[in-house]
Amino acid sequence: MARQLQIAGLKVLVVEKHEPASEASAAAGGMIAHCDPHVSQSLKPLIAASAEMYPEFVRRLEGESGEFADLCDAGTIAWFDDNETPGCATARRLDDTELSRMEPMLRLREGAWFLPERSVDPRGLGRALTKAAKRGGADFVTGSPATEVLTADGCAAGVSTSHATYSGGLVVNCAGAWAGQIHPIEIPTRPVKGQMVCLVPQNVVPQSHVAHAAPLIEHVVRTPAVYIIPRSDGRVLLGATIEEAGFDKRVDPEAIQKLYQAGIDAAPALSSMRIHDAWAGLRPGSPDNLPILGETSLPGYYAATGHYRDGILLAPITAHLMTQFITGCKTDFDLRPFSPLRFGDNEESGTG
């Protein structure tokens, strides 16, 4: 969003608690899962538009930054519950012959769908976004959390951290699962923990897995038990748990073992790979699990959070719509279903 606001002519300061794109965005699988049956009706148009924007979004950011975001468009092979159908018209059923040709290593057969989806490496994308914003002139202050939005004449006028205050004509809260911790407006996000595992080929040392091992799996694979995301350098990610565990980001060996086993059950050949890494991240959930996009009850103070399981997918459209909204342009889609105000008056009692 910083980059998009800059392109619209705004001077941007990013106040970041740690390092940019190091939390949920670094933990994500990076599926651009716009065909998922679970997408809520009101979010469908944004999801479809965002998926459509992805190739150009990545191409531009890679060009601006020199970073590689590993956008893959091999598609997804998915199994859903009996009562579920994909949320995109171009999905199609796969018969056994076609499935064996496309992905010979899969054990699951009956009932497969092919979904014309993409995937991206969220860490590469995060580096690209950060570098593009820096090269475009955005300033970053990292290492301490914003604690409060400052006000002047009843409008947002900047933020303070424990070390300093920064003034600004408007403030956008993009603090993910932590968005609700910044005073004085309560933005009701909650952390939803997700754990993931990364596998690498046995004969590849971590530092050189860019050495391109032949991929065992070429498509993203989603079963009700696990999703499998191949990267172009031979790594394979298995994900992910969905846990209401507060702000606990510890990796649980039992959960990792379960994911690993579910991956092997779906594609036994994955047992030839070894676990290289495992991590947990906190998705920003909201009370209705829809994003929170728009102006809060404090004029000039905006929220862009609550993207829950689809924040990577929704990144381009969020940046685009929020920039339109903030700069006073008509937005391409109605943002009212996502307004922070839908949760009632969100100003904390007792604060000005």
Question: Residue numbers of the site for ligand FAD (CB under 6 A)?
Answer: 15-18, 20, 22-25, 27-31, 145-146, 174-178, 181-182, 194, 196, 239-240, 281, 283-284, 305, 307-313
CB of 42 to ligand FAD, least distance (A): 17
SS3 26: helix
Which C-beta is closer to ligand FAD: that of 57 or that of 204?
A: 57
Do strands 13-16 and 76-78 pair parallel, antiparallel, or not at all (unpaired)? unpaired
Alpha-helix residue ranges (DSSP H) falling in the chain:
2-7, 24-27, 44-65, 96-102, 122-135, 253-266, 315-326
Which C-beta is closer to ligand FAD: that of 204 or that of 294?
A: 294
Determine the Cα angle at 71 with ends 70 and 76, to 5°: 120
- Residue 296: which residues within 8 A CB-CB, separation 6 or more? 173, 185, 187, 302, 303, 340, 341, 346
CB of 256 to ligand FAD, least distance (A): 12
**Residue of this chain nearest to ligand FAD (CB atom):** 311
Q: Counting Cβ atoms within 10 Å, is residue 208 exposed (0-12), middle (13-18) or buried (19+)?
A: exposed
Which C-beta is closer to ligand FAD: that of 28 or that of 157?
A: 28
Which C-beta is closer to ligand FAD: that of 190 or that of 204?
A: 190
Contact, 267 vs 106, CB < 8 A? yes
Which C-beta is closer to ligand FAD: that of 67 or that of 204?
A: 67
Q: How far apart are CA 344 and CA 352, in angstroms?
A: 17
Which C-beta is closer to ligand FAD: that of 112 or that of 259?
A: 259
C-alpha distance across the termini of the chain, in Å:
28
Contact, 211 vs 204, CB < 8 A? yes
SS3 152: strand
SS3 20: coil
Which C-beta is closer to ligand FAD: that of 30 or that of 204?
A: 30
Contact, 278 vs 325, CB < 8 A? no
SS3 220: strand
CB of 26 to ligand FAD, least distance (A): 7
Which C-beta is closer to ligand FAD: that of 22 or that of 42?
A: 22
CB of 285 to ligand FAD, least distance (A): 9
Contact, 314 vs 291, CB < 8 A? yes
Q: How far apart are CA 128 and CA 319, in angstroms?
A: 15
Contact, 117 vs 35, CB < 8 A? yes
Q: How far apart are CA 312 and CA 315, in angstroms?
A: 5
CB of 326 to ligand FAD, least distance (A): 16
Which C-beta is closer to ligand FAD: that of 30 or that of 263?
A: 30
CB of 211 to ligand FAD, least distance (A): 25
- Residue 253: which residues within 8 A CB-CB, separation 6 or more? none
Which residue(s) pair with 282 in the sheet? Answer: 193
CB of 231 to ligand FAD, least distance (A): 13
CB of 100 to ligand FAD, least distance (A): 26
CB of 264 to ligand FAD, least distance (A): 19
